[in-house]
Structure 1
Amino acid sequence: MSLILLRSTASRDSSRTRLLTGCLVGILVLIAVLILPGRAFAHAALVATDPADGAVLTQSPAQFSLTFSEPVSPLVLTLVRPDGSRLALTSFRLNDQTVEIDNPETLKSGTHVLSWRVVSADGHPVGGSALFSIGAPSAAPTAGEAVDWTLRAAIWAARLFFYAGLFLGVGGAFALAWLAGDGRRGQCFVAAALLLGLVAAPVSLGLQGLDGLGATLAWFPSPTVWKTAVETSFVWTVLIGLIALGVALLSLAGPAGLRKLSASGALLGVGAALAVSGHASAAEPQWLTRPLVFLHGTAIAFWAGSLAPLGLALRREPAEAKAFLRRFSRAILPVVIVLAASGLVLAIIQVQEPAALINTSYGRLLLLKLALLLFLFTLAAVNRWTLTAPAQAGDTEVQRRLVRSIGIEVVIVLAIFGVAAGWRFTPPPRALAIAAAQPVSIHIHTLEAMADLSITPGHAGEVAASMVIMTGDFGPLDAKQVTLVLSKPDSGIEPIKRPARKPGDGTWRVDNLVIPLPGRWNARLDILVSDFEMVKIEAPLDIRAQ
């Protein structure tokens, strides 16, 4: 009879394991589905190029420029000639949010591609290209790069294992030092998580370098890859994380007197590692977001790290685990409050408006994370207020139920880590809004006159136009009247004509201008130089979608 019961119990445990594994796999597949439709973006977004994308120039430019929504550091800058040959652009200057690039040669006729790859302040690389032609357009040379899904999967997996080391490993070491008393159940699990994190951290850094250069996994050992990696802000996350993981590992084997101190320092290191780079920590105002990320990460490590040691202690040594359970039950409520409050504020800063939860990959991943958190909080509440007291009283059946529930919590936590790792490939709506609000500018130059035209914001909708008018040799031009004419004949839209006013600051302005569609428009300025002379200058203008 006992053999039958053992087989029945084993069968149920096996079924639960398969069910939990299936749920985790399903969640990971859902994460992939949510991020597949979008491209790999980072915080920085390209606002303008000079020459403008698609521009046709009469002569070779002396330099190029790339303007982003925030300051960046160039990783790779390349000019692809019409014949497909490549020229590395190594001479550049950083001017606030603009990368000014020297052109080392006189370009021949035909279509060229300016290819760029930069890293933004949060440590995430992003790349792209712009086409322009000298004289007349020709067949565009190939400069695009396909998404390396193998590399992207490796980046995601390494980030997931790094998180597991930080949260389950360091948090577990803290729980063993402060909550478990003399119990050491779960120490092997915690040590394994820490070792996993120690391996995943440098691997993540190397993959960051590969992603920055747009290289394949075969280039992983290359010194150039690692040099690129250490030039990003993510290197500080890895360094601090390695220190935290190492100190936590020492706390497991160190003397009892230093165990609590080492584990506390390691736990604080988790929060610091997350606060020095990443989407949330790079958001403004950083005096608020960085401390919130620190608190959020520390709270996650405390809660998630305590689960496995607590569950193993309840399963193997239920009598000795009562004190562990009591201490955890007392401490977890304020920790969850800090976790939820900091996460809510960070989410509001990143998302900004409810529609972004549906319209962006970042928002959809956030909704998935919130759904998992709701499930986790509900399960934790049931454990806290329904199962904890009977388990402490020695009810063995309730203790078994609590162990199973804690196991489910661990699976949910791993799924949440997987969602967080997926954010590596999505831009927060906050960054998209910053990029959308940036102006689009063009320079129009003819022998008779020239102008700098800026449309703010540079997307379809209500905008304002600002113009600086000069003579063809950069001298002042006291125009009597300036009219802005926007046309898009391929969309069947009649030209939009608006007279500009002169506010007295040396510019001409058109306010409350509505551009109905994104895409390439033709911008023309009709400049009345005198009662008998009208100068018309024009150039293409790319308007972004909202």
Structure 2
Amino acid sequence: MPPEPPSHQPVTSNLLAALVLMALLVLPGRALAHAALVATDPADGTVVMQSPAHFSLTFSEPVSPLVLTFVRPDGTRLALTSFRLNDRTVEIDNPETLKSGTHVLSWRVISEDGHPVGGSALFSIGAPSAAPAVGEAVDWTLRAAIWIGKFFLYAGLFLGAGGAFSLAWLAEYRRCGRRFVIGTLLCGLAAAPFSLGLQGLDALGAPLARFAAPVVWKTALETSFGWTVLVALIALGLALLSLAAPRTFRKLLALAGLVGVGGALAASGHASVAEPQWLTRPLVFLHGTAIAFWTGALAPLGLVLRYQPAEAKVFLRRFSRAILPVVAVLAASGMVLAIIQVQTPAALIGTAYGRLLLLKLALLLFLFTLASVNRWTLTAPAEAGDTEVQRRLVRSIGIEMLIVLAVFGVAAGWRFTPPPRALAIAAAQPVSVHIHTLKAMADLSITPGHAGQVAASMVIMTGDFGPLDAKQVTLVLSKPDSGIEPIKRPATKPGDGTWRVDNLVIPLAGRWNARLDILVSDFEIVKIEAPIDIRGE
């Protein structure tokens, strides 16, 4: 075999240099991920005596409101457009005096990872009434479209941009596999704007029929996913250009396209916005780029082995030499990201995200086993020209491609599942309730807001918001529907104006009745109560 031209630098060193460079370019700003509601004012399920001047929603992280709607007891709706953002709290002005009955505050916000979150809170004025109907049904048609868009976007980025890189850097500009790469790139170019429009629909909770509405696209572009789509389109375009560019620019364009794959994935998503971002965003970039390098080379390599086996030796040799460090980067980055996202082994079984991760890991175990057999058993005979081994290698690569597509499908399902890390952040937040009567009022906060050992903090006031110098305060928690009799704990006053109950154990999640027995004088006890929702651990 004649020596390779001097212009062909070692593939591994070039690739790793590019990965390190782009990792430095995508170092993040601060953000959190996948917001969860932790408190409302008025509290969900409470009864207040008078119409509040404003409402508030407190989340586990900063959010951007998309749609805020108030539903009156008669079912009529009112759009709430006057609000302020105060760190993690959305403060909403109440534009009217509310009548008696049960009202619903419906909200839809978008979190820092670009994923929309919605829900509703109920409260009553004076006395409860029949709750107005508020539809929060899952739009399965929209979800299926989002999953399809994600799947084809992954195919375009990994198989298309990765395939263009393999043709330019590993295959010595052979045309075998070029049509497949072009096809996947075109799929990605179509899926990217399609996914952006679906993001806008999901953010607004709108049906597919509103896909062309300008507000849908404006909303989508304002989310972090808009950056992902923009970078993805650039990466796909550069990869496509590399297939038609002069040989002088082909490698540079293909490398830029591969780098863009990592940049697109690092721009948004669960893993990218996890803390610490100085670590997670570069890891997402490295993970995505390594996936594109590996999976993008499979189809062109299989096709050249099948149709031009005599010319496949250089491609096969270069790929087999470069793949080991690339897989090491892929496995190490994926492992660290999984640990950050899942946190505890129990979350692998107890959450939808964890179960999808287990499925992905099972597929990857099969894939790595198959790839190892190919690398250590079949590659050398195939390079030597053994036609039977070459045919076996082609079949094995075909199976690898099927597994890769299955992994893409699983990964696309993560779009609908908050990671355990985000759930843990939400669970650690306190739950609060404001209890208001004519004689006394209180702000009760329980931290963390889930079952287990907690601490309760209370601020006691008169019914007109004045100071109340209580002689003694007792917290009483009960859950009659679960057969739990009242748990009474005297509160202490540490000197900061609050009353506290430490080392309190709440055994079950669910709706509890919280009562405060306030000793106002030696002869008068004021009792105020309200329901409070305790989350599961």
- For normalisation by structure 1, the TM-score amounts to 0.91
**d(CA) in 1 for partners of 2:235, 2:422:** 30
Please state if 1:50 is matched with 2:65: no
**d(CA) in 1 for partners of 2:468, 2:106:** 36
Letter in 1 for 2:128: P
What residue in structure 1 maps to residue 408 of structure 2? 417
Please state if 1:70 is matched with 2:61: yes
**d(CA) in 1 for partners of 2:464, 2:300:** 76
**d(CA) in 1 for partners of 2:348, 2:507:** 25
What residue in structure 2 maps to residue 377 of structure 1? 368
Letter in 2 for 1:293: V
SS of the residue aligned with 2:310?
coil
Write out aligned runs for 1:271-286 (5 A).
271-286=262-277
**d(CA) in 1 for partners of 2:49, 2:472:** 28
Deviation larger for 338-347 or 472-481: 472-481
Given that 2:45 and 2:122 are in contact with CA atoms closer than 8 Å, whether structure 1 keeps it comes out as yes
Deviation digits for residues 42-89 of structure 1 (CA, Å, limit 9, x no counterpart):
821111111111112222111111111111111111111111111111
**d(CA) in 2 for partners of 1:170, 1:189:** 11
**d(CA) in 1 for partners of 2:137, 2:468:** 48
Given that 2:43 and 2:434 are in contact with CA atoms closer than 8 Å, whether structure 1 keeps it comes out as no
What residue in structure 2 maps to residue 33 of structure 1? none
What residue in structure 2 maps to residue 502 of structure 1? 493
**d(CA) in 1 for partners of 2:318, 2:481:** 70
Given that 2:49 and 2:436 are in contact with CA atoms closer than 8 Å, whether structure 1 keeps it comes out as no
Please state if 1:306 is matched with 2:325: no
**d(CA) in 2 for partners of 1:501, 1:182:** 77
What residue in structure 1 maps to residue 5 of structure 2? none
Structure 1: tracts of 5 or more residues without a match: 1-41
Letter in 2 for 1:227: K
**d(CA) in 2 for partners of 1:136, 1:451:** 19
Write out aligned runs for 1:287-302 (5 A).
287-302=278-293
- Structure 1 moving runs of 4+ over 4 Å: none
Letter in 1 for 2:151: L
Deviation digits for residues 105-139 of structure 1 (CA, Å, limit 9, x no counterpart):
11122211111111111011111111111222222
What residue in structure 2 maps to residue 122 of structure 1? 113
Deviation digits for residues 188-222 of structure 1 (CA, Å, limit 9, x no counterpart):
11111111100000000000111111111111111
What residue in structure 1 maps to residue 358 of structure 2? 367
Please state if 1:87 is matched with 2:78: yes
What residue in structure 2 maps to residue 318 of structure 1? 309
Residues 47 and 408 (structure 1 numbering): CA distance in 2 closer, same or farther, change over 3 Å? same
**d(CA) in 2 for partners of 1:543, 1:104:** 31
**d(CA) in 2 for partners of 1:540, 1:171:** 55
Given that 2:37 and 2:60 are in contact with CA atoms closer than 8 Å, whether structure 1 keeps it comes out as yes
Deviation digits for residues 254-291 of structure 1 (CA, Å, limit 9, x no counterpart):
11111111111111111011011001011111111101
SS of the residue aligned with 2:413?
helix
**d(CA) in 2 for partners of 1:456, 1:285:** 24
- Offset at residue 447 of structure 1 (A): 3.4
- For normalisation by structure 2, the TM-score amounts to 0.92
**d(CA) in 2 for partners of 1:485, 1:526:** 8
- Offset at residue 477 of structure 1 (A): 3.0
**d(CA) in 2 for partners of 1:417, 1:291:** 21
Please state if 1:266 is matched with 2:257: yes
Please state if 1:511 is matched with 2:487: no
Deviation digits for residues 160-182 of structure 1 (CA, Å, limit 9, x no counterpart):
00000000000001101110013
- Offset at residue 228 of structure 1 (A): 1.4
What residue in structure 1 maps to residue 18 of structure 2? none
SS of the residue aligned with 2:309?
coil
CA RMSD of aligned residues (A): 1.3
Letter in 1 for 2:370: L
**d(CA) in 2 for partners of 1:301, 1:427:** 25
What residue in structure 2 maps to residue 465 of structure 1? 456
Write out aligned runs for 1:116-515 (5 A).
116-515=107-506
Structure 2: tracts of 5 or more residues without a match: 1-32
SS of the residue aligned with 2:119?
strand
**Which of 522, 533, 544 lines up with 2:513 in the alignment?**
522
**d(CA) in 2 for partners of 1:264, 1:224:** 36
**d(CA) in 2 for partners of 1:109, 1:500:** 34
SS of the residue aligned with 2:500?
strand
Equivalent pairs, count: 505
Identity level (%): 85
- Offset at residue 520 of structure 1 (A): 2.0
SS of the residue aligned with 2:512?
strand
